[in-house]
Structure 1
Amino acid sequence: MSRRYDCSDPEQRSAGLTDAASAVRQGELVVLPTDTVYGIGGDAFTHAAVSRLLEAKGRGRDMPVPVLVGTVSAANALVENLGPYGQDLVDAFWPGPLTLVCRVNRSLSWDLGDTKGTVALRMPLHAVALDLLKETGPMAVSSANRSGSPPATTAAEAESQLGDSVEVYLDGGPCTDDVPSTILDLTTAVPRLLRRGAIPVGKLRGVIGYVATDADPESTN
């Protein structure tokens, strides 16, 4: 039976975070609010948890799961390096709706799907999510919906789609903005936009100067 906590109530928030952190450590799944949409997450280093997450969403290994972090130091430990642009982007937009795709630290023992040696990282700008991540460490997190269905913007929407496949639901109220994060690939010589989202390309270019897009694949400005 799933457990749901109203995080607008301080006592329930505290109890929910404790329960959610314990669930993650046991390889179970949690739904949590973020600054974009609700996410479904599990321990990034527990293979069974990631497999359960993909199964709950009805999604295959060909769509690897992104990773949320609660600190920049946690992100740095997961990647070979942030490259020449990563730190400036982190300083400008984290925590916030920017996902960075980097080369993964090859010493890590995890399986997020068919990642081709990369990992998609983000630090969300949401107090409940950050508090949980600081307790659990990096979490594999995807949008809290069945594959092909609209992303959940409330805990109730997430529960209606995912049901008892999730042990703990942290209800942080309705999402204030359902625009997804912008995804930027830092594994190529020129940073490449993979998905348009909450942070406009112009703002990215204002920080790093160079961003290639599908519309102009050779573009450098």
Structure 2
Amino acid sequence: MTEQAILDAAARLEAGALVAFPTETVYGLGADAENPAAVAAIYAAKGRPQDHPVIVHVAPGADLDYWAADVPDEARKLAQAFWPGPLTMIVKRHAHIPDAVSGGQDTVGIRCPSHPVAMALLAAFKGGKGGVAAPSANKFGNVSPTTAQHVQDEFDEEFGAGDITVLDGGSSQVGIESTIVDLSRLATHGPVLLRPGHIGAAEIAAVIGAMPAAPDAAAPRASGTLESHYAPKAPVALADTARLPGLLTTLAGRGRRVAVIRYSPMLVQASAQELLPNDPAGYAFGLYAALRTMDRADVELILVETPPQHDTWLGINDRLRRAAFGSAGIIDRFLAN
């Protein structure tokens, strides 16, 4: 990635255009967070509901007080511990920050990414003083992109019109979206884990001295927390390790075209398959690319070996649960026919 490419992309952001860029989690579709028209262009390109907030990405050393009406000590401690890195903090939005980034809420999600291309872009944009609103660079509800090619696959029509610039920074190192912790209601609810990710609740608790609670009904809306999300076009279902080989054999015997994503070393009968590492970091790195590859295999179902239920796999299990939400009961329907 050349310095000129970074400067050109920063100039496009300042002009109100969209720029897709790599972060360590997934690729983001970015716009000037203080330009409501530019933020609206993100929503239009993605087909994103207007009340679903986006995350504001800032450069290292950014002034949190510029973005937040109130910055609790817990936020400063977490920023010092985990930024740049895959942690988003929800805080009260400063009055001068447009509510376009927060889906109309009085809160805002802020993150400082660690990918070198993202950091260079944020440093160049408005001299490092600006913020880039950026959800994942895909059509709303689809599998998040972890390469520049994935972004191009999502927005081929927009690329034809030249509406979106893409910075290619290779594969995203983490592979699933950032952890989101709500710090906007500490006095009444304490910290709340809205979305699990690479940084776990125990790691957050070790810094701020309080274990984040599970989401409650009054929690702020946050990116990637709808029940159905991260889904390929083909239905997704999960199956336990012991059940997987027999289930695949039965479905194949009924003429069903089934792809499988697994981490266990076993022989299985499938139309297509991906073997991912059996450690959470390696699995997360390859998950979205595997879902996209299996989705191109012309199958009726993507069957995923249920991952371990240990806390270190919480973010992965969260993404797979949401990917499979819209396909509930599909295995039983296939077996009944």
Quickly name the TM-score band, shorter chain normalised.
0.7 to 0.9
Aligned partner of 2:85 in structure 1 is: 96
Matched-pair identity in %: 35
Aligned residue in 1 for 2:235: none
Take 1:113 and 1:214, find their aligned partners in 2: how far apart are those partners?
21
- Counterpart CA distance in 1 for 2:197 and 2:58 is 19
- Counterpart secondary structure, 2:100: coil
Larger radius of gyration: 2
Given candidates 164, 175, 190, the residue that maps to 2:172 is 175
SS at match of 2:149: helix
Q: Does residue 154 in structure 1 map to residue 183 in structure 2?
A: no
| Contact 2:102-2:109 at 8 Å conserved across structures | no
Query: Which structure 1 segments of 5+ residues have no match?
Result: 1-6, 8-12
* TM-score, with structure 2 as normaliser: 0.58
Residue 22 of structure 2: aligned partner: 33
Secondary structure of the 1:31 match is: strand
CA contact (8 A) 1:69 1:75 kept: no
Shift of 1:52: 0.6
- Is the CA contact 1:38–1:175 (under 8 Å) kept in the aligned structure 2? yes
* Correspondences of 1:1-221 after superposition (within 5 Å): 7=1, 13-109=2-98, 111-136=100-125, 137-163=130-156, 164=158, 166-189=163-186, 190-214=190-214
Q: CA–CA distance in 1 between the matches of 2:154 and 2:175?
A: 17
Contact kept, 8 Å, 2:21 with 2:29, in 1: the verdict is: yes
Distance 1:111 1:62 in 2: 9
Query: For 1:215 and 1:51, how far apart are their aligned partners in 2?
Result: 28
Q: Which one-letter code corresponds to 2:203 in the other structure?
A: K
Residues 216/186 of structure 1: CA separation in 2 closer, same or farther (3 Å cut): closer
Paired residue for 2:263?
Answer: none
Which residue identity is paired with 1:98?
L
Q: Contact between 1:46 and 1:110, CA under 8 Å: does it hold in 2?
A: no
Whether contact under 8 Å (1:99, 1:182) holds in the other structure is: yes
CA distance change for structure 1 residues 204 and 28 in 2, over 3 Å: closer, same or farther?
Answer: same
TM-score in terms of structure 1 length: 0.87
What amino acid sits opposite 2:132 in the alignment? M
- Cα shift at 1:110: 5.4
Matched letter for residue 182 of structure 2: D
- Please tell me whether the aligned partners of residues 83 and 112 of structure 2 are also in contact (alpha carbons under 8 angstroms): yes
Q: For the Cα contact (< 8 Å) 1:100–1:184, is it kept in 2? A: yes
For residues 51 and 149 of structure 2, the distance between their equivalents in structure 1, rounded to whole angstroms, comes to 28
Listed one character per residue, the Cα deviations across residues 141-186 of structure 1 (whole Å, up to 9, x for unaligned) are 1101111210001001101102326431100011122121110000
Structure 1 window deviating more from structure 2 (66-75 vs 189-198): it is: 66-75
Q: Deviations over 1:83-119 (max 9, x none)?
A: 1311111110000000000001113345225241100
Instruction: State the 4+ residue runs in structure 1 displaced beyond 4 angstroms.
Output: none
Question: Hey, what's the Cα distance between the residues in 2 that align with 1:173 and 1:27?
Answer: 25
**Residue-pair matches, total:** 206
Rounded to whole Å, the distance in 2 between the matches of 1:174 and 1:17 is 18
Shift of 1:209: 1.5
57 and 181 in structure 1: CA distance in 2 versus 1, 3 angstrom threshold: same
Aligned partners of 1:25, 1:216: CA distance in 2, in Å? 37
Letter in 2 for 1:139: V
Check the 8 A contact 1:37/1:177 in 2, yes or no.
yes
Amino acid at match of 1:208: I
Deviation at 1:211, TM superposition (A): 2.8
Letter in 2 for 1:178: G
Deviations, residues 35-72 of structure 1 (Å, cap 9, x unaligned)? 10001001111111111101111101110111000033
Higher helix share: 2
